[in-house]
Structure 1
Amino acid sequence: MASLQESRKFVPPRHVIELCRARETELSATEPARETQCQRWLLQLEGSEEVINVPNDLWVAYRIWVDVHVALREGRPDVFHNFLVAQTLGISTPRKVMWNATEAADLLSCLAAAGLLLKGLPSGDALEAYLQDSVVLYNNRFTLAKHRAYEGYTREEEGKWEGAYDFVQLADPQIGMFKQDVDWLEETTMLRLAVQHVNRLKPKFLLVSGDMTNVWPSPASEELLQAQTSTFKEVLRELDPSIPVVLQPGNHDVGQNPGTRDVERYCKTWGDDYFKFWVGGVLYLSINSQFYHTACNNFEADALCKEQEEWIKAELDAGATLGSKHVVLLSHIAPFMGEEDEPQGHFNWAVEPRKWLLGLAAKAGVKLWLSGHYHGNCHVRSEAGIDVVTTSSCGGVINWNGEPSVIATNAVFDFMKCVNMPPVLCDAFHSGLRIFRVSETDIEHKWFELAYVPQTLDDCFAEEAHGKASQRRRDRLESFQEMLGLPMQLDRSVSMPVPMNKRNSIDGCPVRVGGEGALEVILVLLVFFAQQLVECLGRLPPASFLGGLRRQFKLLLALLLQLTAKFFGYLRLPLPLGLRHLHPELFFAEKYLTEPDGIDGGIRSSPAE
């Protein structure tokens, strides 16, 4: 027991020191002075010979408090330890660096003893008060939309234009969709990879356009819904604390035909279902679009819808939007996917409310409307010049076999008749995010698959960021693909896809429509035999000569899989399904997609957490 041990010297964790020194920091806007003091104290301690002892009473108090207030409620205290250290020091933490409970307890108890957490309080009281404030922030970042506004982002706080900025949109993480709620390794890993990109890019804010989870909200699915909700929150807690996350309701969050109880449940978990917020002189209005879907038809929904419409009228009034550089509408479901007067269907709004709000938005000067729901990309423009941008999923991307305008307006929606095989793809070569650059005169945006997100925000909007290679390089790639009998490279230099065949692309990224080619079969067989060899060697005694070769063969297998992934990624092709079936974790685990040197002991046989 820690309380029975002698006091020991506090040794600052090397990875904490490196992050503090590397200036990969984002100091909180609320208490930058305290975080700066904590960093200076830590860096000075490392370079001095002063011995700091870990106060055992504070160490034990920290561990007990976390067990009672976090472990029993969330079940993942390790995520809280990581969040707490990152927040205390103002550092952005990559997921591969996780502070364990001992390191976090050492650091926080020593900071409390040094009087750097909350001044004017005894160390024990300061630690407890600081932990209480931190757990509120830990839980409440998902419910900051209150009273039809977003905390900290009102006109008074953010209504002034202070220059261009960027933000990121994720749509339809839909934890549980890919395998129909059996497990959600794929969506979780794609969401985690997206969060890592967002942490690196440091946008002004992150927008999640609905469908956080997959299972429909109902008393019968309560346990499953809680599990998926906890997974989503666990991943989003890895988001840099300095980046606010804006959440919207999707049909899977409030239900197809929501009533008062459904909306109340959503608001308790995720914050208000419709609200406004200001960022850098731009007004954003987030709308609960499920009220305007064809499946929504009940008395309670009608009353809730009327309340929202009165609010929308007031917020789009000339006085309410006065002074804004832009007004942006946000909804899970797009109003239309082809023509403004198209028939209603599964992926658009009912006709009457669509016409009403498009007319109101045009009078208010709205130029941009962002949505999700379709699990594919689409960009259309209203007669009044409003750009309606539908963003594909950061999780399961649907392999549609037709145009969005046709699929969206199906009166009787039959999913399997509208898709190619496989119906859903969920990997870093298809799942993605959209990045927006807001300037004083316009808002530019680009879509990136997660495997191809540039290193910086400026790189995202550079000329070459979207695959604009030289014509010679494109010709060489197409020649190579044609020689191998693989699908041809598509033109990714335009905002809308230009597919060679309408039935075999998603936003310019080819998808499999037939059997696998000879090259893919050879690669599948090579990986299969290599994996079988590794498994056979694993049955031998580790001390034997052949048993000792197992690690080398595991590394060889991992290298072969990485090269295969990079080969298909270079050609911007989907990975062979046979390889996914042999080793599904490979194509969903970010360590193989983004870290060439990240082979730690070879392939894992158990799913990633």
Structure 2
Amino acid sequence: MAKLTRRMSGRLQAFSYFMTFSFLAAFGCALYYGLYDDAEAVAVFNFKKPVDHLVALDEPNGLIQPFRYVVFTDPQLGLRDAVEGNDGTDWRKDLEAIEMFGELTSNLDPEFIVCDGDLNNAYPVVHDPADDPSFKPVYRPPQTYDLLTAFEKSLSNNIPTFMLAGNHDLEQPNPEIIDAYEKIWGESYFSFWNRGHFFIAVETQFYRSEDPRTLPLLEAHNEWLKRTLSSNENSKTVFQHVPLFIDNSEETDSDFFEKSVPLEHRKYLLDLYCENNVKVVISGHTHFTHFPAEYECANGNKIKQVIITSISAQ
């Protein structure tokens, strides 16, 4: 472990501090670092697949208690190689980042882990530019296999882990793309409880697609989201791959290179979140860390956004 720690880049060191402060202190938890002495222990991936858009992690409406959890995003196998000027077909450095992340996470001993999407760099369908090898669907199966293997080796069986989908996972969603994704990762939007706190995973790619086949999927998602948000009056935390906005709620879709939810859908989500006591929205996608100013709702509610960078490539 010490040898691995010495290899950590400044980026991952900063990321570990960021995770600790943002997601532990936000719930009033004391910071705790525990070291596992059993070097021979084998980690097994404790992946939680949603069923009927629900994960039964804890009883609903339980006693509200503080706890630790960890969010990471954009492991995106193949991107690091592409960022370094290569063809994106070598993802060994991305796998090393997951290994380092596993070490950091086990020391924090969280109650659950959430990945906010973009699991691989290869798209499910041909993507523009079509000649970019790192985007080619042919590389998606080996990336997925290696990603699952890395999670199994690096993430503890004692820590429930949830997966969201990003734009590289669904691109322009249609029933076939959704079905293929769900066969591996389960439903892309869901909710769960933990220690009296209510968490909701939202599928933002439905709001960004121009494929007409996405519309029925979007409508079903919105009906589920309205029903789920209004099911209780507790404060809520939302996980979504794409941020609501980067700088301000009125920014256009082109202001930050399509890094946020399009304006029309953003207003819909903000209104829905304001009405239903959403307090925190945690997202990725941008490949930089950012804390926008809190969004002030007309009813007095305030929504804090936490945007986190990739664990692998910036």
With the shorter chain as reference, the TM-score category is 0.7 to 0.9
Contact 2:240 2:282 in 1 (8 A): yes
**Equivalent residue number for residue 207 of structure 2:** 292
Look up the SS of the partner of 1:367 in the other structure.
strand
Is the CA contact (8 Å cut-off) linking 1:143 and 1:272 kept in structure 2? no
Offset from partner CA, 1:206-252 (integer Å, 9 cap, x none): 11100111111138955521111122111211311110011100001
User: How far apart are the structure 2 equivalents of 1:147 and 1:226?
Assistant: 26
Q: 1:145 aligns with which of 50, 74, 81?
A: 50
For 2:276, the equivalent position in structure 1 comes to 364
Deviation (angstroms), 1:365: 1.2
1:161 is aligned to 63
Q: Quick one: higher RCO (CA 8 Å, sep 6+), 1 or 2?
A: 2
Instruction: Name the residue aligned to 1:205.
Output: 112
Within 5 Å, which residues of 2 pair with 1:19-98? 97=40
**CA-CA distance at 1:142 after TM superposition:** 3.5
Equivalence for 2:267: 355
Output the CA distance in 2 between the equivalents of 1:143 and 1:258: 22
SS at match of 1:149: coil
Do the aligned partners of residues 297 and 259 (structure 1) sit closer, same or farther apart at CA in structure 2, a change above 3 Å counting?
same
Identity of aligned residues (%): 24
Normalising by structure 1, report the TM-score. Answer: 0.40
CA distance 1:334–1:194, change in 2 (3 Å):
same
Could you list the per-position Cα deviations for residues 40-66 of structure 1 after superposition, in whole angstroms to 9, with x for gaps in the alignment?
Answer: xxxxxxxxxxxxxxxxxxxxxxxxxxx
Structure whose alpha-carbon radius of gyration is higher: 1
User: Which secondary structure does the structure 2 equivalent of 1:229 belong to?
Assistant: helix
Cα drift, residue 383 of structure 1: 2.5
Supply the distance in 1 between the matched residues of 2:243 and 2:94 (Cα, whole angstroms).
23
C-alpha distance in 2 between matches for 1:281 and 1:243:
18
2:135 corresponds to 1:243: no
Give distance in 2, aligned partners of 1:288 and 1:252: 13
Note if 1:390 corresponds to 2:273: no
Alignment of 1:514-529 (within 5 A): none
Q: For each residue in 1:149-179, what CA deviation from the matched residue of structure 2 results, as whole angstroms up to 9, or x when unmatched?
A: 01x325xx25312521011111111111011
- Would the aligned equivalents of 1:143 and 1:267 in 2 still touch at CA under 8 Å? no
Contact 1:143 1:269 in 2 (8 A): no
User: In the alignment, does 2:171 pair up with 1:262?
Assistant: no
- How many correspondences in the alignment? 258
The partner residue of 2:79 within 150, 157, 177 is 177
Distance 1:214 1:261, change over 3 A: same
Distance in 1 (CA, whole Å) between partners of 2:50 and 2:303 is: 26
Hey, what does 2:169 align to over in structure 1?
Answer: 253
Per residue, is there more helix in 1 or in 2? 1
1:362 maps to amino acid: C
Amino acid at match of 2:158: S
CA displacement at 1:353 relative to structure 2: 1.1
Question: What's the secondary structure of 1:228's corresponding residue?
Answer: helix
2:238 aligned with 1:321: no
State the match for 2:9 in structure 1: none
| 2:278 and 2:303 in contact (8 A); partners too | yes
Report the 3-state secondary structure (helix = DSSP H, G, I; strand = E; otherwise coil) of the residue aligned with 2:288: coil
2:32 corresponds in structure 1 to none
**Structure 2 counterpart of 1:194, from 86, 92, 101:** 101
Scaled by the length of structure 2, what TM-score is found? 0.77
CA contact (8 A) 1:148 1:274 kept: yes
Q: Deviations over 1:446-467 (max 9, x none)?
A: xxxxxxxxxxxxxxxxxxxxxx
Q: Using the alignment, how far apart are the partners of 1:297 and 1:307 within structure 2?
A: 17
Q: List, as ranges, runs of 4+ consecutive aligned residues in structure 1 with deviation greater than 4 Å.
A: 219-223
